Amino acid sequence: MRLAGKPRSGARIQEGDMTPMIDMTFQLIAFFMVLINFSQTEQDQRVMLPQSVLAKPPERPLQHPVTIHMTRDGSVVYAGQELATMQRLRPYLVNERMVLEGRGRPMSDATIVIRADRYAQAGVVQKLIQLCQEEKFEKFALRAKEDFGP
């Protein structure tokens, strides 16, 4: 193995093709961007979840989650849009129901995930659940932060 000195005449320097590595890098960047966008739709900065020692992560992913956020003042946020009244949520719920029916899925596959602010009134949350029940939704999940205690 020759390390020092001039290269022999006729010897060429070998260079690797970087195109596949650059392509894979861009594919990984795109994948993580999509992954981050999906996880951000589950959260809203206007909602501070209550803490509970009984809160546990779900055992398995939900089949068809429909996430609804409720702010401190009782306004509803759905798909990033703050709705002026709770009744404005009804067309979105009808749309979710039609999607399930179009796929031939039962309403029991859908779970309404309610992320209510810790200071939201319980009566307003109950009205939200009642509105969803009027649109034939059966399963509900209330989100809270896990409290690990002192």
DSSP 93-104: HHHHHHHHHHTT
Q: How confident is the model at residue 136 (pLDDT cuts 50, 70, 90)?
A: very high
- What confidence category does residue 40 fall into, taking pLDDT thresholds of 50, 70 and 90? very low
| pLDDT for residue 148 | 61
Determine contact, residues 128/92, Cβ cutoff 8 Å: no
Give helix 122-134 / helix 90-102 axis angle, nearest 10°. Answer: 40
What does the DSSP 8-state code read for residue 59?
S
Left, alpha or beta for 80 (phi > 0: left; psi -120 to 50: alpha)?
Answer: left
Q: Which domains does the chain have, with CATH numbers?
A: 51-146 (3.30.420)
pLDDT band at 130, cuts 50/70/90? very high
The answer to whether 47 and 71 are in contact (CB under 8 A) is: yes
**pTM exceeding 0.75:** no
Mean pLDDT to the nearest integer, 106-112: 92
Whole-number pLDDT of residue 150: 58
Nearest to 44 by CA among 114, 97, 93, 96: 114
pLDDT of residue 147: 64
Tell me if 45 sits within 8 A of 69, measured CB to CB.
Answer: no
Give, as one character, the DSSP assignment of residue 20: H
Structure tokens at 137: 């939704």
The pLDDT of residue 2 is 54
Q: What does the mean pLDDT of the chain come to?
A: 82
pLDDT in tens, 51-104: 776 667 677 878 889 999 888 888 898 988 889 888 999 999 999 999 999 999
Residues in the chain: 150
Closest to 133 in 3D by CA, of 116, 112, 147: 112
> How is residue 70 annotated by DSSP?
E
Query: pLDDT tens digits, residue range 23-33?
Result: 999 999 988 87
Q: Which two tokens stand for residue 1?
A: 């193995």
